[in-house]
Structure 1
Amino acid sequence: MSDPMRPPASHPRSRASLRTAVVWEVLQDALERRVKATGRESLDVLDTGGGSGNFAVPVALLGHRVTVVDPSPNALFALERRTAEAGVADRVKGVQGDAHGLFDVVERGGYDAVLCHGVLEYLDDPAEGVRNAVAALRPDGLVSLLAAGLGGAVLARALAGHFTEAHRALTGADGRWGEGDPVPRRFTAEQLTALVEGAGLQVGAVHGVRVFADLVPGVLVDTEPGALEALLKLEEAAAELPAFHSVATQLHVLGETRGTDGS
């Protein structure tokens, strides 16, 4: 399959690709495995908190049907415009709702894959959010979780000279560095995998996302020839190594229903 989130080699990558490339590689491979396992050409994908379609549109470009659930009318309006521009409006449906009341707007057991990206941080009960994602799956399916990483925030605050805030994030129950922190909750890789396993899934993969990207001065990436490509390769190489999970800005966990073909 072609990769809609990777530009042709003749075109420069954008810095935004550093935020999505690792997750997209894992997700695309997982969706391809599900296509082979089901024998169907397209899958039904649920994107909770999918906003304006950063993942929904590329997934639809692969030929899959995507339902995006998001509480923001503005985000859903942007999604509608974006899907029209991409030519996938017939494969993407946006509905207003949230992870807590998920089954007020979508059916249980109706999806081959559920994306839960940037959602768990904002839930009072992250475990409930993961359980709802699993309940939306068909008997064999997968859940893609992307959440804020604790270690990346601690490291960033420390390198900025905010040592008290770094210590507060490190030792606090929610991983926040202070009242001004816009992120309500952060996770370690162990916490996320425990949520996945507690919901009855097996962990298929764990990746660190933005291990270096948020620490490297932008001027180095923007002015040095080939620096962006080299940084992306470094990110991809470090993503699977457990040693770097503890300093990643985000963590990605792929959960699969037990018995799913993971070959």
Structure 2
Amino acid sequence: MPDPMRPRAALRTAVVWEVLQDALDRRVKATGRQALDVLDAGGGSGNFAVPLARLGHHVTVVDPSPNALFALERRAAEAGVAERVRGVQGDARGLFEVVERGGHDAVLCHGVLEYLDDPAEGLGNVVAALRPEGVLSLLAAGLGGAVLARALAGHFAEAHRALDDPNGRWGSGDPVPRRFTAEQLTGLVESAGLRVGAVHGVRVFTDLVPGVLVDTEPGAHDALLKLEAAAAELPAFHAVATQLHVLGEAGGTDGA
């Protein structure tokens, strides 16, 4: 449920929301429970947690930042879902110091793996928070999108450096510690014991299109949303996406 008052934000998250909501709808049908238990690891101020709570789910957000958790509490209260959102301070490495192991129908891990010293260990902890046949929503920075963006900005040496760097970094000023290919992310998900249900490219075009065009050209916003959705599932576009989304499924087919 992207925020209709934030069109650029909606463009950046629409593909993820569509995949995630479909997965949660299937879990609702499989469990017979309208309200699922969702863990948002590194969920910050609640960009996903609050809309999920508005859908009726119970969401626990684990984040190391007290400021983000304060913003989450305020945001949940303003949305009228404070009773369905719980924020706790912590991180992926010490996850089970603050939440239950194996106690969640779905786990979100968005924008987290890039910042972990050991992505495999962190993802393993996150996956261990799932109930049998739960689902993982994994979103991480894509290597190809960064290379393309640096090249289109005229920073060709930095684009080349990102292409060659083992962590996909374009230089010492790069704010992202590491980036991934689709193969690397799916490998991590499978190594954590999950089946890969789907892979999508996110923000394939959105970050490259001038904002003024989207905001002022009649019909441009909706047309770009449709284009992003059409390209998201095509492997050829995974290689140039700013972010990559992997849906991981535990214990079978999730009732599909």
In the superposition, the TM-score normalised over structure 2's length comes to: 0.98
Task: Deviation per CA, 1:55-97: give whole Å up to 9, x if none.
Answer: 0011111111000000000000000000001010000000000
Q: Do residues 82 (structure 1) and 79 (structure 2) align?
A: no
Cα distance between partner residues in 1 of 2:139 and 2:2: 17
Cα distance between partner residues in 2 of 1:40 and 1:88: 18
Tell me which of 186, 206, 214 is aligned to 2:207: 214
Tell me which of 2, 7, 24 is aligned to 1:5: 2
Report the equivalent of 1:189.
182
Tell me which of 243, 250, 254 is aligned to 1:250: 243
Report the equivalent of 1:62.
55
What is the RMSD of the two structures over their aligned residues, measured on CA atoms? 1.1
> Secondary structure at 2:206's aligned position in 1?
coil
> Secondary structure at 2:241's aligned position in 1?
coil
Q: Check conservation: 1:110, 1:137, Cα contact below 8 A.
A: yes
Cα distance between partner residues in 2 of 1:67 and 1:141: 15
Q: What amino acid is aligned across from residue 90 of structure 2 in structure 1?
A: G
Q: Check conservation: 1:208, 1:251, Cα contact below 8 A.
A: yes
Q: How far did residue 222 of structure 1 move?
A: 1.8
Which runs of 5 or more residues in structure 2 are unaligned?
A: none
Report the equivalent of 1:138.
131
Cα distance between partner residues in 1 of 2:182 and 2:138: 11
Cα distance between partner residues in 1 of 2:211 and 2:90: 36
Q: Do residues 224 (structure 1) and 221 (structure 2) align?
A: no
Q: What amino acid is aligned across from residue 241 of structure 1 in structure 2?
A: L
Q: Within 5 Å, which residues of 2 pair with 1:148-227?
A: 148-227=141-220
Task: Deviation per CA, 1:172-229: give whole Å up to 9, x if none.
Answer: 1000000000000000000000000001100001000000011111221122111111
Report the equivalent of 2:33.
40
Report the equivalent of 1:259.
252
Cα distance between partner residues in 2 of 1:91 and 1:110: 16
Q: Check conservation: 1:153, 1:169, Cα contact below 8 A.
A: yes
Cα distance between partner residues in 2 of 1:262 and 1:224: 42
Cα distance between partner residues in 2 of 1:23 and 1:215: 18
Cα distance between partner residues in 2 of 1:149 and 1:51: 21
> Secondary structure at 1:184's aligned position in 2?
coil
Cα distance between partner residues in 1 of 2:3 and 2:43: 19
Q: Check conservation: 1:13, 1:229, Cα contact below 8 A.
A: no
Q: How many residue pairs get matched? A: 256
Cα distance between partner residues in 2 of 1:182 and 1:119: 13
Report the equivalent of 2:114.
121
Q: What amino acid is aligned across from residue 77 of structure 1 in structure 2?
A: F
Q: Check conservation: 2:3, 2:9, Cα contact below 8 A.
A: no
Q: Check conservation: 2:200, 2:238, Cα contact below 8 A.
A: yes
Q: Check conservation: 1:102, 1:132, Cα contact below 8 A.
A: yes
Q: Check conservation: 1:46, 1:67, Cα contact below 8 A.
A: yes
**Which one has a larger percent helix, Structure 1 or Structure 2?**
2
Q: Check conservation: 2:2, 2:9, Cα contact below 8 A.
A: no
Cα distance between partner residues in 1 of 2:225 and 2:133: 32
Q: Check conservation: 1:204, 1:262, Cα contact below 8 A.
A: no
Q: How far did residue 261 of structure 1 move?
A: 2.4
Cα distance between partner residues in 1 of 2:216 and 2:31: 46
Which runs of 5 or more residues in structure 1 are unaligned?
A: none
Q: Check conservation: 1:150, 1:247, Cα contact below 8 A.
A: yes
Q: What amino acid is aligned across from residue 42 of structure 1 in structure 2?
A: A
Q: Check conservation: 2:134, 2:254, Cα contact below 8 A.
A: no
Q: What amino acid is aligned across from residue 197 of structure 1 in structure 2?
A: E
